[in-house]
């Protein structure tokens, strides 16, 4: 677990995705289903 602080101490958010990269491109595995 880690915390990120902005220089001015305002609220911030982070979002991460899981990717798989192949010779033909990349797929984002963590996109919501449509």
pLDDT digits 0-9 by tens, 1-11: 677 789 998 88
Q: Tell me the pLDDT tens digit for each residue of 12-33.
A: 888 889 999 999 999 999 998 8
Position 21 scores a pLDDT of: 97
**Collapsing DSSP states into helix, strand and coil, what is residue 19?**
strand
Position 8 scores a pLDDT of: 96
Position 25 scores a pLDDT of: 97
Instruction: Report the predicted TM-score, pTM, of the whole model to 2 decimal places.
Output: 0.48
Position 14 scores a pLDDT of: 82
Buried-exposed string 12-27: b where 16+ CB fall within 10 A, e elsewhere: eeeeeeeeeeeeeeee
Q: What is the DSSP letter of 31?
A: S
CA 33/CA 25 separation, integer angstroms: 20
Q: What are phi and psi of 19, to 5 degrees?
A: -115, 150
């Amino acid at each position: 677990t880690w915390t990120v602080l902005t220089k001015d101490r305002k609220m911030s958010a982070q979002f991460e995705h899981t990717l798989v990269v192949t010779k033909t491109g990349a797929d984002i595995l963590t996109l919501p289903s449509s």
